[in-house]
Amino acid sequence: MGRITLDKVTKAFGEVEVIPPLDLTIDDGEFVVFVGPSGCGKSTLLRLIAGLEDVSSGEIRIDKQPATHLPPAKRGLAMVFQSYALYPHMSVRKNIAFPMKMAGIPEAEQNRKIEDAARVLNLTDYLDRRPGQLSGGQRQRVAIGRAIVREPAAFLFDEPLSNLDAALRVGMRLEISELHERLKTTMIYVTHDQVEAMTMADKIVVLQKGVIEQVGSPLELYNAPRNIFVAGFIGSPKMNLIEGAEAAKHDAHTIGIRPEHLAASKDAGEWKGTVTVSEHLGSDTYLHVTETGLADTMTVRVGGEFGVKHGDTVFLTPDATKIHRFDAQGLRIG
């Protein structure tokens, strides 16, 4: 089973502390996503769990067993790398067999597991090809296959979809989610893409500069961001942040309102502004509005088509129940 606990884990590269003391518990069977801007330490954190980096201090426990100083292979974890890290000189079959070969599993059992994995991942016809002859999505599946056959306590994914094109990415996202439904194994998934985080995760861990900003379900993060960073990071387009007099009206240093919680009108509304750019997506219209006296640019998301152009005047009205309030330290109020 795959319950993973990090207890005051730190990591420093020389003088630079990339992870200050950090506590985190990942429950068995959870799909946890580490998300944050690049350089936030999310990959380092994953590599610490994997054992590819040594912790500077603190404890890592996997299934309540101390694992802090176990070599990677002994932790019972499998990892899918960003570049897939397939062995280019081995066939797909040998790639998938490699961890079992290292573990000394009898050949008959190896073959059975390879066949199983290949069926699950639609790789049966490709077992004798080299990774170089496969498409990006197929390589991704081979990497996952190599992880599955080990029957790990947890899967670690390090930005696994970032090398795929947009259409394929959506497909693979679904496949990984389905895989999690079927296997019910703990999965830790690192990404910088908040859409992936929102769509896949049971639990999202938002990181910035090695510090956990918030841990929670996707909707918790969306509805009740703990601070301005999380508020800005989760949700697309980004939340509008307003300081000054308008915020003071709500007894806050800063207030935030998501673009989809602003209503736009050509005639009347609470705030008045000028449209600089309007982006027509068909299903939605994004308006970029300036000269509101609130923030440099306000982004508004209007459902369907909304016929305004550069220079037009619009009126905006926030949904009063969806206003987020933050104090001077950027922390959520209420």
Partner 1 sequence: MHPAIQAVLTVGVAVIAAIAYFYLSNLLLDRVLFPARGKNAGRNINRANMIRPWLFLFPALFALCLYLAYPVVETIRLSFTDRVPGGYEWAGTSNYQQMLREPKFWEALRNNFFWLLVVPGLSTLFGLIIAQLTDRLSWGNIAKSIIFMPMAISFVGASVIFKLIYDYRPAGEEQIGILNAVYLALGGAEPQTWLTIPGLNNFLLMVVLIWIQTGFAMVILSAALRGIPEETIEAAIVDGANPFQIFFKIKVPQIMPTIMVVWTTITILVLKIFDIVFAMTNGQWGTQVLANYMYDKLFRANDWGVGSASAMVIMLLVLPILVWNVRQARKEMR
Partner 2 sequence: MARAVTTQRKAINTLIAWIVGLLIFFPILWIFILSFHSEGDAIKSPLEVITSTWTFESYATVQERSNYFRHFWNSVVISVGSTVLGLIIAVPSAWAMAFVPGKRTKDVLMWMLSTKMLPPVGVLLPIYLICQNLGLLDTRIALVFILMMINLPIIIWMLYTYFREIPGEILEAARMDGASLREEVIYVLLPMAVPGIASTLLLNIILAWNEAFWTLTLTAAKAAPLTAFIASYSSPEGLFYAKLSAASIMAIAPILIMGWFSQKQLVRGLTFGAVK
Give me the residues that bind partner 1 (CB under 8 A), please: 54-55, 68-69, 71
Centre a 10 Å sphere on the Cβ of residue 128 and count the other Cβ atoms it contains: 10
Q: Select from partner 2, partner 1, none the partner in contact with residue 230, using the beta carbon and a kind-dependent cut-off of 5 to 8 Å.
A: none
Q: Which does 40 bind (CB under 5 to 8 A by kind): partner 1, partner 2, none?
A: none
The angle that helices 136-148 and 92-103 make with each other, rounded to 10 degrees, is 20
Closer residue to partner 1 in complex, CB, 57/265: 57
Rank residues 61 and 272 by Cβ distance to partner 1 and give the closer one: 61
Q: What angle do CA 163, 166, 172 make, to 5 degrees?
A: 70
Given partner 2, partner 1, none, residue 89, with its beta carbon under 5 to 8 Å by kind, binds partner 2
CB of 325 to partner 1, least distance (A): 45
Cβ atoms of residues 269 and 315 within 8 Å: yes
Burial class (CB in 10 A: 0-12, 13-18, 19+), 281: exposed
Q: How far is the CB of 10 from partner 1 (least distance, A)?
A: 13
- Interacting residues toward partner 2 by CB under 8 A: 50-52, 71-73, 77-79, 81-83, 85-89, 98-99, 102-103, 146, 150
Binding partner at 98 among partner 1, partner 2, none, C-beta below 5 to 8 Å by kind:
partner 2
Beta bridge partners of 303: 284
The answer, yes or no, to whether the previous bond of 237 is cis (omega within 30 of 0) is yes
d(CA 17, CA 10): 8
Instruction: Specify the residue, 30 or 158, whose C-beta has the smaller distance to partner 2.
Output: 158
What sign results for the dihedral spanned by CA atoms 256, 259, 260, 265? positive
Partner whose binding site includes residue 287, from partner 1, partner 2, none (CB under 5 to 8 Å by kind): none
* Residue 142 vs 298, nearer CB to partner 2: 142
